[in-house]
Amino acid sequence: MDQRAAAWAVLLECASPRFDLRRLAETLRGKPDWTVLTALAEEHGVTGLLAERIGELEESCVPQEVRQELRAKRRTQILFCMSLNAELFRLLEKFSAASLEAMVVKGPVLSARAYGDPGMRRYEDLDLLVRQRDVLRFTELLTAEGYEPKVPPRAIRAGRVPGEYLFKWPGTNRRIELHTEETLRYFPRRLPVEDFFARRAYESVDGHAVPALCAEDELVLVCVHNAKHFWERLMWVADVAGLIATQEELDWERALSTAREVDAERMLILGLRLAEQVLRVKVPEEMTSQVRSDAGVERLAGEIIERLPTARGASRGVAGRALFRIRMRGEFFHGAGYLLRLTLSPTEEDWKEDTGKKHGRILETLQRPVRLARKYWTKNDG
């Protein structure tokens, strides 16, 4: 077994909700290269899980310098998450005072739900779901609080829709991203944002009740997000596995209904299949027939699993990306329509200065496929 394969076996054990301390100790007998292992954990966003699991082993199993390094990384991650969450609590109070509604997606809520700890999962920004009609008011409020918006108010007033509304705190890594029913383009069908707000739940994060999607809607959103990024990181598979394992009251009929509502049923089923095959999570009986009956999902899962250990270094090219988008939708014509919509929906990378002129927007739409082709042409499709 080469060093990367040995390191990968350790990460799979650490990331699984069915983690077993004895099995981890046995896996470590393969003497992984600790430099390779810690680098791979960073690459796949599971350093917190690695540090937590390694910390439970006997001293003799892990070199002291590796323990210290992992503790330091874990401490840094926790402190950063705590600072982000403190800012989240402050902003939620500001939003409430201004009668603005937002729900936290992914980040601390997902970490708390999937791992029982809002600081276990790595996240580098705060993601909020808001209504498109409220974006300008959120922008004005966040700007007044000192944040710098990437999308200026004039573009919002002109009806421009970016990939997300990004806000940065000057001189720091603190970032806020607003998502709406219009920015979440990777949902095959427009997000029913009012239904999501009606089903909202509250998750405890560091003693604060944080507004969030219900667990079923969160699971679907996570699977769509991960499909957008081709499931290239182990963290994303671990998120789904953690939700399956910890959310015992999850209503699977509700989850399926949400997925069908946005035409993301195959994306949800693929997420369940990956959690089962990669991290040994038992698929709920209610979902077994759906997971087993889609041969296309089986093939997709096999390809993702094969690429997963090295996918970050072997990004897909134009053809590979296009084919994956089509296959994620199931039937060819639905998949082709999905790909066409994504290809012809300009984001801030495509915008021109004449934000209010119709001919400028038409030109952006036509130029976007050319830009995407140039961006990914040299990538590896193998």
Cα atoms found within 13 Å of the Cα of residue 45, Cβ hemisphere only: 18
Q: Where are the domains of the chain?
A: 3-314, 315-382
Sorting pLDDT into bands at 50, 70 and 90, what band is 379?
Answer: low
pLDDT, tens digit (0-9, with 9 covering 90-100), for 74-85: 999 999 999 999
What's the CA angle centered on 194, arms 261 and 149, to 5 degrees?
110
Between 30 and 63, the higher pLDDT residue: 63
Task: Using alpha carbons, list the distances in angstroms from residue 114 to 134, 219, 243, 374.
Answer: 30, 10, 5, 38
206: left (phi over 0), alpha (psi -120 to 50) or beta: left
- Averaged confidence pLDDT in the chain: 90
Dihedral over Cα of 359, 364, 370, 371: its sign? positive
Sorting pLDDT into bands at 50, 70 and 90, what band is 333?
Answer: confident
pLDDT, tens digit (0-9, with 9 covering 90-100), for 338-373: 888 888 777 777 776 555 555 566 667 667 776 766
Contact 167, 176 (CB under 8 A): yes
Listed ranges 118-127, 137-146, 371-380; the one with the highest mean pLDDT: 137-146
pLDDT, tens digit (0-9, with 9 covering 90-100), for 32-51: 899 999 999 999 999 999 99
141: left (phi over 0), alpha (psi -120 to 50) or beta: alpha
pLDDT more than 70, % of the chain: 92
Residue 313 has pLDDT above 60, yes or no: no
Give domain 3-314's CATH number out of 3.40.50.1000, 3.30.870.10, 3.30.460.40, 1.10.3720.10.
Answer: 3.30.460.40
* pLDDT value for 86: 95
- For the segment 317-342, the average pLDDT, to the nearest whole number, is 83
pLDDT, tens digit (0-9, with 9 covering 90-100), for 195-243: 999 999 999 999 999 999 999 999 999 999 999 999 999 999 999 999 9
Sorting pLDDT into bands at 50, 70 and 90, what band is 121?
Answer: very high
* pLDDT value for 23: 93
* pLDDT value for 173: 80
pLDDT, tens digit (0-9, with 9 covering 90-100), for 261-303: 999 999 999 999 999 999 999 998 889 988 888 888 999 999 9
> How many residues are given for the chain?
382
